[in-house]
Structure 1
Amino acid sequence: MTVLIDRDQGITSPALVPAEGDLARDQAGADLNIGLINNMPDTALKATERQFMKLLQVAAGPRRIRFHCFSLPSVRRSPEAKWHVESEYSDLADLKRRRFDGLIVTGAEPVAPELDQEPYWRDLTDLIDWAKVNTRSTIWSCLAAHAAVLHLDGIERRRLPAKCHGIFDCEAVTNDSLTHAGPTPLKVSHSRLNEVVEGDLAQAGYQVLTRSALAGVDVFVRQYTSRFVFFQGHPEYDALSLQREYLRDVGRYLARERDHYPHLPVSYFDAATEERLARFEKRARHERHPALSNDLPALTLRADIAAGSAAAALFRNWLQFLGAEADASVLAR
């Protein structure tokens, strides 16, 4: 499956593929081939597609993008999600039959205690090795970033005392094209139970581009034949992504699928909502039952979360890098 994205096209689903002849050719430069390896949990599968398609559309400006969706076949799926992947995604074998300008690889919900014990580990490490020499740049997101540095350099992620969950102010710590003209600070969503620390990355030769005083390393890079970009956070998240995750975890607690009540996302809900949720938590601890989720209070986000602004800057700069490389390659022929 290939979607041809231009700035005037409506984005709803990767199943909607406009005919190539329906889009006028312009002088914006060579089309970019971008692949998304979407390994997100079933509940976030379709939302992740839409988030990245909309983000790339905004960031690309007049340049057209040929967008290809894949998923690792060894990621466990429900029958419905498996049908969606099989009917609307390209086969992963097709990935290695062409050269991609850019690749985006998401994490998957953990099912094993260690990354190298995950059922998809072999498929993922094969992908890492392939991407090093067959893309101009690859983005590794959250758990995929942790898996990549473990495979490449043996860097072990470390368990956090509490989940890093919320929107964090991240500052650029070096002058790099990826963070050029970005907002200050970059407000980035993080949602993870583990981290890789800056000292381990620096010792192995990675360059940290952004960090947060509260969340630690945010974006870091390493140059192979491909430029590898690693996100510990989720700049692609839309405004409601963290809310959906929080409510999912509340539901799992009420259903006794998890032992601990989730912490509120940092710097996300407004003060009145946090007070209502604190009262609801006290009630949930005493009246623990799935039906209680029907009594969750109305939720209002803070006005200053700046959803999408960090992602717009990062992906605009990433696509400009890919475009310059692609145009230079065309001129060199």
Structure 2
Amino acid sequence: MTVLLEKRRLIVSPGLVPAQQRREDKLGHPKNVDADLTIGLINNMPDSALKATERQFMRLLRQAAGDVRIDFHCFSLASVSRSQSAKGRIDGQYTDIAELDRLPIDGLIITGAEPHTANLNDEAYWRDLTDIIDWAKENTHSTIWSCLAAHAAVLYLDGIERKPLETKCSGVYDCASVSPHWLTDGLPSPFKVAHSRLNELRADELTANGYQLLSQLPRGGVNSFAKDFGSQFIFFQGHPEYEALSLEREYLRDIARFLAGERDRYPGIPVGYFDTGTELRLTAFALRAQNERRPALIAELPERTLREDIAMGAAATVMFRNWIGFLSARARAVSPEANL
């Protein structure tokens, strides 16, 4: 897979131009002669997960691409708050998001940003994100919305509000396909996907607004869904891109925040993730942590072993292979050569 990370220049806003002009400009841009597809990742994840998110999606695309050559660009919204070190990485290695109109983007992947307000539409990045949503409808063949980005997108597109969960949905869950769709072709049923979220979108509200449910968790929670906006929008409430240790890092971070007094509740053990012995040790440690709450206790966490059957990334490779196939078919259908 061809990978290109261009230098990104700091900008104040996406600087998106009207849809009609964008459409005309895009048709005028020649394809990269060395690539079959151009795919962008708008990486809005917190600083601590910035590099990991790049790595996870590049790994997925490499595994899924086969013989397809991909010109890959990372972007980030300038309105997402960043540390100086993260800004340095973005300035040095990311493409300026204003370049979206120059590049012949076939597909986008958009991740969520850590929320700082109770309502997503009060976030500092909200206007920039909604500009991207409108842009993606007109200028991509398909866009993937990951976790919090999925919640933000359906709020803007159809006014669907996410609902808080009683306890965090965290773990590796068996998901079952619920309707035929090109994205899930070839997946076993059930298949495993990682989830890590405090809120959910309800199935009945999604279907009432024309979304197609693609897969669900055992107790009915939505895993993935889709809707055609001219561009095929694909939404994941979970994290199919997560690597084996991603949930462990989040769990340890939440424990550290509890011990430091930055969160009120001790985090639950991720479901279906650690082996039985580890779960017993972590349960005993949780009782101790709640009685001896102090930051230094994090150093005494017990040894941890993951279950052997979590199969991280297996389902994601199939879905991203299907996504790349869809993008390739759409790109061929609209290319000038296809009409000769």
TM-score, normalised relative to structure 2: 0.89
Determine if the alignment matches structure 1 residue 332 to structure 2 residue 330: no
Tell me the equivalent position of 2:2: 4
- Please say if residues 30 and 327 of structure 1, whose CA atoms lie closer than 8 Å, have aligned partners that are also in contact: no
Letter in 2 for 1:151: Y
**Kept in 2: contact 1:169–1:185 (CA 8 A):** yes
Given the alignment of the two structures, is residue 87 of structure 1 paired with residue 92 of structure 2, yes or no?
yes
Q: Is the 8 A contact 1:108 1:143 kept in 2?
A: yes
Contact 2:192 2:311 in 1 (8 A): yes
* Contact residue 46 and residue 114 of structure 2 kept, 8 A: yes
The 5 A counterparts of 1:143-162 are: 143-162=148-167
After superposition, residues 72-111 of structure 1 pair within 5 angstroms as 72-111=77-116
Q: Percent identity?
A: 59
For 1:235, the equivalent position in structure 2 comes to 240
Instruction: Give the letter aligned to residue 325 of structure 1.
Output: R
Alignment-derived partner of residue 28 in structure 2:
none
Aligned partner of residue 137 in structure 2, secondary structure: helix
1:123 is aligned, of 128, 141, 157, to 128
- How many residues align? The count is 312
Structure 1, unaligned runs of 5 or more: 6-12, 17-28
- Matched with 1:252 is 257
For residues 114-137 of structure 1, what are the alpha-carbon distances to aligned partners after superposition, in whole Å with 9 as ceiling and x for unaligned?
Answer: 100111100000000000010000
Q: Which runs of 5+ in 2 are unaligned?
A: 8-33
1:203 aligns with 2:208: yes
Would you say 1:141 and 2:157 are equivalent positions? no
* Aligned position for 2:62: 57
Structure 2 partner of 1:303: 308
The 2-side partners of 1:281 and 1:226 are apart by 46
**SS across alignment from 1:100:** coil
Q: d(CA) in 1 for partners of 2:317 and 2:63?
A: 7
Q: Aligned residue for 1:180?
A: 185
Deviation of the 1:59 alpha carbon: 0.2
| CA–CA separation in structure 2 for the residues paired with 1:56 and 1:225 | 23
Asked if the contact 1:139–1:229 (Cα under 8 Å) also holds between the matched residues in 2, the reply is yes
Find the aligned partners of 1:293 and 1:266 in 2 and give their Cα distance: 21
Separation in 2, partners of 1:177, 1:255: 46
Tell me how far apart the structure 2 counterparts of residues 149 and 201 of structure 1 sit (CA, whole Å): 9
Q: 2:223 aligns with which of 202, 209, 218?
A: 218
Contact 1:166–1:267 (Cα < 8 Å) also in 2: yes
- Kept in 2, the 8 Å contact 1:168–1:215? The answer is no
1:316 paired to 2:314:
no
Q: Distance in 2 between matches of 1:215 and 1:110?
A: 25
Deviations 1:172-198 (A, max 9, x none): 111111101113212001111111111
The runs of at least 4 consecutive aligned structure 1 residues that moved more than 4 Å come to: 13-16
Match of 1:285 among 268, 279, 290: 290
Q: Secondary structure of 2:242's match?
A: coil
Residue equivalent to 1:42: 47
The letter for the 1-side match of 2:305 is: T
